[in-house]
Structure 1
């Protein structure tokens, strides 16, 4: 009797273990992409490893976002699902191999965007820089470069530029960091 109970327990454990492996299988053909606390107007972009956009959609409703994708037709490679928010970009990376998708890590990557503000003749730039990436700032006046500077070394990068009140017209600031470019035009 003890042998039968022991064999039944071992068999039950074996079936339970097998079912657990099937249910937690990482590679799937369809994938649900989820983000919490999205706002209407934010965008979801899916890019390949070369930065080519394969999907782009503007979020229509605020709250939690969930969409199921069939990535089985994508070429083999690493892709990223990027939620472009007001001040940050949240990135989930995944691998497509033979039509099956596997997420590469459980933790979302975050890239903080630079903040560009103007107050009169002042140009204020700041960026949270936890990943220690340099911030290249280029300032143009009437399409002519007037300043190029690279900021680095701090967890919060910030700079205030005082522009000439005599040089009124159209300015453009272009900021590059984290392999991305941001720009803003303004007048003084």
Structure 2
């Protein structure tokens, strides 16, 4: 019983999203048989669940098929010793749940749980609008590319914004540059790419 109590770790957290104000209760339970049960509330069809190692290599990928509650058991004790993450890639954000495996013991790092908000990019009337938010101040790199031909993109604009948590910018494009655009925004070692036609 003492071992079971020692090996049982339950994490519960409530995230408030900026866009939908929905909450998500997450629990990660180490069971007596060594398996870990992951419970996610308020998932949406099309969300992607990943398990990644410390190098960002995807070890497991699953598309969420139904709206509502997700509940599944994983045997994480089969992983080599090291650091890993569960990553829930949602429409508006990415939720990261870190854990480590050491001698077949799985430990969750509740202090490092985080939400990464995706940039919102809108294109309309020769205008590209970029809105981003991160709870902590970060450095952003914004690059805009124009498709010259055959998916060969030419960089037409580049900007770095340092030490900020909110960006709200509009970029006006030349009227003779109708066609396809690629917008890349890099923040916290992640690059978000959007393709648009004007």
**TM-score band, normalised by shorter chain:** 0.7 to 0.9
Which 5+ residue runs of structure 2 have no aligned equivalent?
10-29, 148-152
Trace 1:11-22 onto structure 2 (pairs within 5 A): 19=1, 22=4
Q: Give the corresponding residue for 2:196.
A: 186
Structure 1 residue 31 corresponds to structure 2 residue 36: yes
* Partner in structure 2 of residue 153 of structure 1: 163
Q: CA deviation at 1:151?
A: 2.1
1:99 pairs, out of 82, 104, 108, with: 104
| SS of residue paired to 2:45 | coil
**Which piece of structure 1 moves more, 47-56 or 123-132?**
123-132
Q: Whose helix proportion is higher, 1 or 2?
A: 1
1:119-153 C-alpha deviation (Å, 9 max, x unpaired) = 12110011112121211111111211111101233
Shift of 1:25: 2.2
When the two chains are superposed, the root-mean-square deviation of aligned CA atoms in Å is 1.8
Q: Deviations over 1:49-108 (max 9, x none)?
A: 000000000001111211110012211101000101111111111001122211111673
The alpha carbon displacement at 1:20 in A equals 6.0
Larger Rg: 1
1:114 CA displacement: 0.6
Check 1:61–1:55 CA distance in 2 against 1; reply closer, same or farther (3 A cut).
same
The residue that corresponds to 1:77 in the other structure is: 82
Provide the rounded CA distance (Å) in 2 between the counterparts of 1:69 and 1:150: 41
1:72 is paired with a residue whose SS is: helix
Partner residue, 1:3: none
Secondary structure of the residue that 1:153 maps to in structure 2? strand
Counterpart in the other structure of 1:47: 52
- Once residues 135 and 170 of structure 1 are traced to their aligned partners in structure 2, the CA distance between those partners, rounded to angstroms, is 23
Contact 1:26 1:102 in 2 (8 A): no
Q: Given the superposition, is the C-alpha separation of residues 106 and 25 from structure 1 closer, same or farther in structure 2, using an over 3 Å criterion?
A: farther
Distance across 1 between alignment mates of 2:89 and 2:107: 22
1:139 aligns with 2:126: no
**Secondary structure, counterpart of 1:129 in structure 2:** strand
Query: For residue 187 of structure 2, what is the aligned residue in structure 1?
Result: 177
Q: Per residue, is there more strand in 1 or in 2?
A: 2
Q: Relative to 1, partners in 2 of residues 1:81 and 1:112: Cα closer, same or farther, differing over 3 Å? A: same
Distance of 1:128 and 1:175 partners within structure 2: 12
Contact kept? 2:178, 2:197, Cα under 8 Å: yes
Secondary structure, aligned partner of 1:130: strand
Q: Is 167-176 or 39-48 further displaced after alignment? A: 167-176
